[in-house]
Structure 1
Amino acid sequence: MSRFRSLASAAPVALRGVALGVSLLVAACASPGAGLPPLPQTASSTTTTYKLGPGDQVRVTVFNDPRLTGEFRVSDSGVIALPLVGAVPVVGRTTTEAEQSIERALRSRNLFNDPSAAVEVLQYRPVFVLGMVERGGQTPYQPGMSVLSAVATMGGFNYRAIDDYVSITRLDQNGVPQEYRGERDSLLQPGDVITVFERRF
């Protein structure tokens, strides 16, 4: 009888151990990135809401002065270097806001009383594709680019890839990286970092 009571008292402990083991096994088998928040819907990067970032190539036109007109790259520090003016901060600003920054810089240096500038994006900063693709790296951003089209430029998914969703890291309005879950048809923005997860067989 005492042996029976010992076995009976040990049973709940054993069951708890089995339950814990099953929980750990389920957690280990959970798909990577499954708990990420969904990628928020945002306006197209071709609209006037697009904010400039390092690596963007822009054309600046200062009317009535060809010396200040040309093509410039937004530097890693977030500025463009204009002749006669110097560094003008433009990172995180729309093209309209960048135009206003340039006009203020021209007035502050007494180059114009009433300057008029125009800024146009010629080439967006690239998208980066990492993880389980045939070859990782960066690819030029094109308006309307989706996850699938970006991955295709990297040779496609490899045989170990989870190919129905990815991780997308994107800077928020404050310049802080945020990680989201993106689908195959999710639209990208310049500077996005795609990570393709490895399938657990």
Structure 2
Amino acid sequence: MLEILLQSGRRRSDLFRCILMLFFLPVLFLGATIPVASAAEYRLGSGDKLRVAVFAEPDLSGEFEVEGAGIISLPLIGQLKAGGLTPRELERAIAEKLADGYLVNPRVSVEVMNYRPFFILGEVNSPGSYAYVNGMTVLNAVALAGGYTYRARKDRIVILRGGRSNDEELASEATEVLPGDIIRIPERLF
């Protein structure tokens, strides 16, 4: 009799675990953070640090930074425009340059190691440049900058994207921050 009770208890326990897994696994996958900019979408810009790997050619591989004008300097091929390209587009551009008289069928991989920083200005305690972290919000950025000053107007936060003033958008504390964003916290009138 005891054996039957133990077996039915195990079956209930197993059933309970299965139900939990069926319920929580989709929740975990739906709630998982998706990268802000996947490799297919993310556009490189000044300040991005990249790892470039040319397979079977360690002398051509290494870590490189996209310079101010969006240029990357690589061994053998020299300067190459990287700003505005996706990592996959840069891979193709490097492979084309290497195939043009240097290597036969080069295989290239480009990985973003560190994203360019974002900037926060205005009514925060420590305005300046900060390292971008995937999934960060305006509230996270404000916290990194030491919090709001007492004069901050929290309902009129502005984000400048793409480096052009016509790309300004109003933001809330929950707005996602992207690499290179300029966040401005205005002063309230009274």
* TM-score in terms of structure 2 length: 0.78
Matching residue of 1:192 = 181
Paired AA for residue 192 in structure 1: D
Check if 1:111 corresponds to 2:102: yes
- Equivalence map 1:36-115=2 (5 Å): 44-108=36-100, 110-115=101-106
* TM-score in terms of structure 1 length: 0.74
Deviation string, structure 1 residues 112-163 (Cα, Å, up to 9, x no partner)? 1211100000000001000000111011001101000011101000100012
Deviation string, structure 1 residues 153-186 (Cα, Å, up to 9, x no partner)? 0100010001234100001xxx644111011000
Name the % identity. Answer: 41
Partner SS for 1:167 = strand
Distance of 2:90 and 2:133 partners within structure 1 = 22
How many residues end up aligned between the 2 structures?
155
Matching residue of 1:143 = 134
Measured on the aligned residues, the alpha-carbon RMSD in Å equals: 1.3
Distance of 2:38 and 2:132 partners within structure 1 = 11
Q: Which runs of 5+ in 2 are unaligned?
A: 1-34
Matching residue of 1:40 = none
Partner SS for 1:104 = helix
Distance of 2:40 and 2:78 partners within structure 1 = 25
Distance of 2:128 and 2:38 partners within structure 1 = 23
Partner SS for 1:59 = strand
- Structure with bigger RCO (C-alpha 8 Å, 6+ apart): 1
